[in-house]
Amino acid sequence: MATVDTAVNAIHLLFAGLWAGSVIFVTRGVIPAARDGNLDATPLRRLIGKFRTSSRVSSLLLFLTGGHLAGTRYTAETLLGSTRGYLVVAMVVLWFVLTGLVEMGSGRLVDGLDERKVREPARSATPLFTAAAVAAVGLLLIGGVLL
């Protein structure tokens, strides 16, 4: 059983880093370039489509692996009655926040890109992606404390 837990933990950590890193990359690299008009709608649409897919896969895998890890490491009492448990609950809340912000931000961006606009949708999506990047960093920091 230890091998399964090790594999689940490795998958969880890998996808947490990939997801957080991709959110930060889009927030700090792609969105500013789109706001400045340095990107065309068609390639940006493809990039955001791939980002959305990887974000959804990561979100699902983190939900499943995180659920497994929480289920094997914590009881209801320790989740709701200890500092480590509170941190796990905070991670679940941030997971929901990050998932929602990425979906709303990328949806706002894609809607504008479908109309062949780039700058205005990027401006509109900036606050959502900025908040998503903050949530992603928060998740990584809490995860680091729990290791």
In the prediction, which pLDDT does 147 show? Answer: 82
Whether the per-residue pLDDT at 1 is higher than 70: the answer is no
- pLDDT surpassing 90 at residue 134: yes
User: Which SS3 state, helix, strand or coil, does residue 67 take?
Assistant: helix
User: Are the C-beta atoms of residues 72 and 5 closer than 8 Å to each other?
Assistant: yes
Q: What is the pLDDT of residues 7-64, one digit of tens each?
A: 999 999 999 999 999 999 999 999 999 999 999 999 999 999 999 999 999 999 999 9
Rounded-to-integer distance, Cα 31 and Cα 123, Å: 8
Asked if residues 142 and 92 have their Cβ atoms less than 8 Å apart, the reply is no
User: How far is Cα 45 from Cα 41, in angstroms, rounded to an integer?
Assistant: 6
Q: What is the pTM of this model?
A: 0.92
Identity of residue 23: V
What's the pLDDT tens digit per position in 82-106? 999 999 999 999 999 999 999 999 9
Phi and psi at residue 40, in whole multiples of 5°? -90, 155
At residue 27, the pLDDT reads 98
